[in-house]
Structure 1
Amino acid sequence: MVFTEKQEALVNESWEILKEISHKIACVSSPQIAPAAKGMFSFLRDSDGIPQNNPKLKAHAVKVFKMTCESAIQLREKGKVTVADTTLKYLGSVHLKNGVLDPHFEVVKEALLRAIKEAVGEKWRDMNCTWVEAYDQLAAAIKAEMKEEAA
């Protein structure tokens, strides 16, 4: 899959909007959507409920947004998502250690897309497929690394 310049521009435009409202990102994160996933986040395991202003949850959400945005750029430039080997090994290891399964990636995807939709409003119609593809490619790379490490 190769992204067009327009698709990359849409992702970059929405990323700029998301950076401005980053204080709200954690409010639509995956533990909010699927409270059972809370135990997968080391910084939430021992807390009661999902803290609205947890800086580690916010930082995690921002990392997911940023990596997905970078994935979109890579799709345009290289036709595929390429994550640095050390980063990919780390992500695969952490996700595997925390028991992340394929359905959990879908929960994170839902949270990501919901946050973007809320942030960009009417522009969402033009951005939806672009963000979905970027996230799906990034998730596929992490899942492949998880399988490799598990083997």
Structure 2
Amino acid sequence: MEEKKKTVEKSVGFTEEQEALVIKSWNAIKNNSGDLSLKFFKKIFEIAPAAKQLFSFLKDSNVPLDQNPKLKSHAMYVFTMKLGATHFKSGVKDAHFEFTVTANTYYNSRK
């Protein structure tokens, strides 16, 4: 199991500073994660609108993001799961995480 964890950590490729930012951001937002998880994804899609195409439930949807029950559910799930391992298994690439770092930085700076 330890070997698998190392593989996941290497594939994500966060620097120590980025990892510290993610942890700091999570500690700041975890008590209001329901609302903020949806805002987080909305910010990602504002930064990278094409990222919606990575989500089967958003590809052809005309439902506004804040009213999309599948996005709300996914956002909460993402905020409560083992991020690295699950994203690695889903095939999320390093480039996709760059948007999350930008969104994290945005919300962390608004504190």
- Contact 1:31–1:38 under 8 Å retained in 2: yes
Report the count of equivalent residues: 88
* Greater Rg by CA: 1
* Map of 1:142 onto structure 2: none
RMSD: 3.3
- Contact 1:26–1:58 under 8 Å retained in 2: yes
Q: Does 1:14 align with 2:6?
A: no
Q: Distance in 2 between matches of 1:53 and 1:102?
A: 29
* Map of 1:48 onto structure 2: 62
Q: Distance in 2 between matches of 1:59 and 1:10?
A: 20
* Structure 1 segments unaligned to the other structure (5+ residues): 2-7, 72-82, 122-151
In the TM superposition, residue 35 of structure 1 has moved relative to its aligned partner by 0.5
In the TM superposition, residue 45 of structure 1 has moved relative to its aligned partner by 0.8
In the TM superposition, residue 13 of structure 1 has moved relative to its aligned partner by 5.2
Q: Distance in 1 between matches of 2:26 and 2:76?
A: 14
When residues 117 and 59 of structure 1 are mapped into structure 2, their CA distance, relative to the original with a 3 A threshold, is farther
Q: TM-score, structure 2 length as denominator? A: 0.54
- Contact 1:28–1:114 under 8 Å retained in 2: no
- Contact 2:52–2:58 under 8 Å retained in 1: yes
Identical-pair percentage: 33
Q: Which has the higher contact order (CA 8 A, sep 6+)?
A: 2
SS at match of 1:44: coil
Moved over 6 A (4+): none
Q: Does 1:65 align with 2:79?
A: yes
* Map of 1:91 onto structure 2: 87
* Structure 2 segments unaligned to the other structure (5+ residues): 1-15, 17-22
